Amino acid sequence: MSGTTIAIDVMSGDHGPQVTVSASKHFLSRHSDVKMILVGDEQTISKELGSVAADLKSRLTVQHTTEVVAMDESPALALKKKKDSSMRVAINLVKEGRAQACVSAGNTGALMATSRFVLKTLPGIDRPAIVTALPSKRGHIHMLDLGANVDSPPELLLQFAVMASILVKTVENIPSPTVALLNIGVEDIKGNEIIKQTAELMKKSNLNYQGFVEGDSIYTGDVDVIVCDGFVGNVALKTSEGLAQLISSIMREEFQRTLLRKLSAVVAWPVVRAMKRRVDHRRYNGATFIGLNGTVVKSHGGADRLAFAHAINEAYVEANKDLPQRISEELTYWLGEKE
Amino acid sequence: MSGTTIAIDVMSGDHGPQVTVSASKHFLSRHSDVKMILVGDEQTISKELGSVAADLKSRLTVQHTTEVVAMDESPALALKKKKDSSMRVAINLVKEGRAQACVSAGNTGALMATSRFVLKTLPGIDRPAIVTALPSKRGHIHMLDLGANVDSPPELLLQFAVMASILVKTVENIPSPTVALLNIGVEDIKGNEIIKQTAELMKKSNLNYQGFVEGDSIYTGDVDVIVCDGFVGNVALKTSEGLAQLISSIMREEFQRTLLRKLSAVVAWPVVRAMKRRVDHRRYNGATFIGLNGTVVKSHGGADRLAFAHAINEAYVEANKDLPQRISEELTYWLGEKE
């Protein structure tokens, strides 16, 4: 089969097929080298698809499933009971080689548990991590882990750094991406034992390790990859979402306070729009479950069409470059002692 | 001695006496019940003070010191060698009862180490924590620990929650402040063992415990106190600073891109100013080292006059209500098993 095939779990997410099917159709129409398998209830999908041009039809398959994993369902139960869920079947398609990647806006815990169970981790990788790009002054950075692993030991943090380095190298053609370790100070004596030991491991590896950074460097710093434990990374990500929401709601309130301000909002609108676009979380939607024997991309549950399309694009780019294979090939070199 | 006496370490901070002396003088002129001891080089202080009105003169003392703790100095060395530093002497004044609180914009590590050594922790408190107010949709919240303690065990996190509850009760007259534990999900199964055990301890205590919150709740949530380990809290705080900087620099760039936009900036200026004021970190400057036998407030190193005055005000309010004494009196009740 030529080109890349992407399996889409269309039933999951806060908005379900209404968003996922239309985003998929749109993406397909823009990428003539892509094939897609829409996984979910056949009737619903057909209704959402509407009329499909002949060119698209030849590259589009529907895989009927009868179950859906709920957003608040226990990962263990979803894994055990929902064998015909859109999520599970989409992952199965990757396992069977019928698709090179899958995308889901479903329950993170269930998606991770099912992905690990079905696809397994790559040889040499102890646990997969969640990695995403985030906007920053320099453009963007990649950060991991964002919540898959709490209490990560130094060896695991080193693996995270290596996987993200290979991701950035593969997708962005940066030969030796710069890596930093998130800490509460930049001096060697700062942080806990795990951080200090991880720094030692990184120094000895072939990573382009730059040392410690503090939280503000996520948005204002100058490295390609920032590594941290999943608990810390998840808090940093969610805290950012909260602050962005607060600033955006204050801006709305302040612009509506008086008639004059409402008028000024019209004048300032291009600026506000340009600003929002540059830090738009939708443009950064799509977190990769890195370290698996296959490409799985998690979309934000509340993603709209634009955001979901960005998640599909992330899956497309990674599958196209066969990221899991690249990780397998390069792992030993990057982990290995500095020559 | 009637009124409250505050000792100010005027030599520390990125801007030193230029900011601290003028902020102190201004604060003193606005609070006729306050006395102040300015600690630092006599000549420099006298130069910065300029002419002082008689009313202020009677409430203002200068304590001459010969040393300054550098911003990047090792806490251990500062503690051992700099016995006549402005920082050390300001803390000594609290210990000796000549001041009820001290404020410093110095090196956080040195200030914490010296405060612990000189003042000691309150009976029943294992370690002090760093707590501050942060802006949020509902007004503000208090969060701790912000970096004094990494790898905090459940018993310590419980003490943090109790101290912050007493702080909010004392300073804001909220009889039973609501408390939440920062986690990477709100379900009981989320988080690591320490978080789960801490939740159990909190449920059994007299705290008004509300359960887990995620990072976004710092800015959009609805509790009075959010508790976390110092590593996580420091990352969340610094990440927020970075994101705020990014948004602010993008806004500046976008408003300057064209002549039309420069004009629209003039029109939108009242909105931008109102917005900035509501999330202005300077209004939230002043983190308390809570759990010590005395009140120590840490100002941001880069604080300007307005920000430093806010830190002085925090010290003033806490000293006025004798927060350390209140913590001592109420600790057992809050920690104790629910009746």
Average pLDDT across each block of 10 residues of chain B; the chain has 339 residues. List them in order.
Answer: 86 95 96 96 96 92 96 92 96 97 96 97 96 92 95 96 98 96 85 93 96 95 96 95 87 79 76 75 89 97 94 96 96 80
A-facing residues of B in 127-186 (CB < 8 A) are 135-137, 147, 150-151, 182, 184-185
Is residue A339 over pLDDT 60? Answer: no
Residues A66 and A188 in one domain: no
So what's the pLDDT on residue A174?
A: 96
CB distance B164 to B150 below 8 Å: no
Q: Are residues A96 and A135 in the same domain?
A: no
pLDDT on residue A6: 98
pLDDT score, position B250: 83
- Judgement on whether residues B66 and B177 belong to the same structural domain of the protein: no
d(CA A251, CA A244): 11
Of B231, B253, B282, the last residue of a domain is B282
Q: Quick one: B307 and B162 in the same domain? A: no
**pLDDT of residue A207 exceeding 70:** yes
Q: Are A101 and A319 in contact (CB under 8 A)?
A: yes
Residue A257's pLDDT is: 77
Domain presence at residue B339: no
Instruction: Answer yes or no: is A336 within a domain.
Output: no
Collapsing DSSP states into helix, strand and coil, what is residue A192? coil
Please check whether residue B194 lies inside any domain of the structure: yes
What pLDDT sits at residue B254?
80
Q: CB contact, 8 Å: B274 with chain A?
A: yes
Q: Please give the pLDDT value at position A312.
A: 97
Within 10 angstroms of residue B88's Cβ, the number of other Cβ atoms is 25
Residue A238 domain-assigned (yes or no): yes
pLDDT at A270 over 80: no
Give me the pLDDT at residue B41, please. 97
Co-location of A305 and A272 in the same domain = no
List strands edge to edge, sheet with A34-40.
Answer: A60-64, A34-40, A4-9, A101-104, A295-298, A287-290, A129-136, A139-144, A225-227, A178-182, A208-213
| Token code pair at residue B233 | 């809290």
Residue in chain B lying closest to A140 (CA): B246
pLDDT at A267: 74
Query: pTM score, two decimals?
Result: 0.92
pLDDT for residue B248: 83
Q: Which residue has the higher pLDDT, B337 or A47?
A: A47
In a domain, residue A71? The reply is: yes
Q: First and final CA of chain B: distance in angstroms?
A: 40
Decide which of A65 and A276 is more confident: A65
Local confidence band at A100 (pLDDT 50, 70, 90 cut-offs): very high
Asked if A170 and A88 sit in the same domain, the reply is no
Q: Is residue B227 situated within a structural domain?
A: yes
Domain that holds residue B111: 1-125+291-321
Number of structural domains (chain A) is: 2
The answer to whether residue A333 sits within a structural domain is no
**Are A214 and A306 contained in the same domain?**
no
**CATH, residue B94:** 3.40.718.10
The position carrying tokens 């002692």 is: A337
Chain A, chain B: beta-carbon pairs less than 8 Å apart:
177
Indicate the DSSP class of residue A292.
Answer: B
The answer to whether residues A116 and A133 belong to one domain is: no
pLDDT given at position A121: 97
CB contact under 8 A, B247 and A214: no
| Closest chain A residue to the Cα of B138, Cα to Cα | A246
Q: Do A119 and A5 reside in the same domain of the chain?
A: yes
Inform me whether the C-beta atom of residue A236 falls under 8 Å from chain B C-beta atoms: yes
Comparing B284 with A39, which gets the higher pLDDT?
A: A39
pLDDT at A1: 44
Other C-beta atoms lying within 10 Å of the C-beta of residue A118: 20
Asked if B238 has any chain A CB less than 8 Å from its own CB, the reply is yes
pLDDT band, very low/low/confident/very high, at A2 (cuts 50, 70, 90): low
Summarised one tens digit per residue, pLDDT across range A210-263 is 999 999 999 998 999 999 999 999 999 999 999 988 888 888 888 777 787 777
Average pLDDT over residues A80-86: 95
